[in-house]
Amino acid sequence: MEIIGEAANLLSDETRSSFPDVEWRDITNLRILLAHHYFRVDEEQTWVIASVSVPDLASKLQS
């Protein structure tokens, strides 16, 4: 998820605007949390993001 967040951070505004249903800010903020504030990470919430939100993101980006 850190890699996804880093990649999202590097996308152009044009690319981001092509996918208005994607919560880009949430993705980049999650990367910051995981990389720099790991002591505040909720393991259960992280699992839900990994098992539900990441597949949902992949689906949105493929369509």
Q: Active-site positions? A: 31, 36
For residues 60 and 40, give the distance between their C-alpha atoms in angstroms, rounded to a whole number: 28
Exposed / middle / buried, residue 47 (Cβ in 10 Å: 0-12, 13-18, 19+): exposed
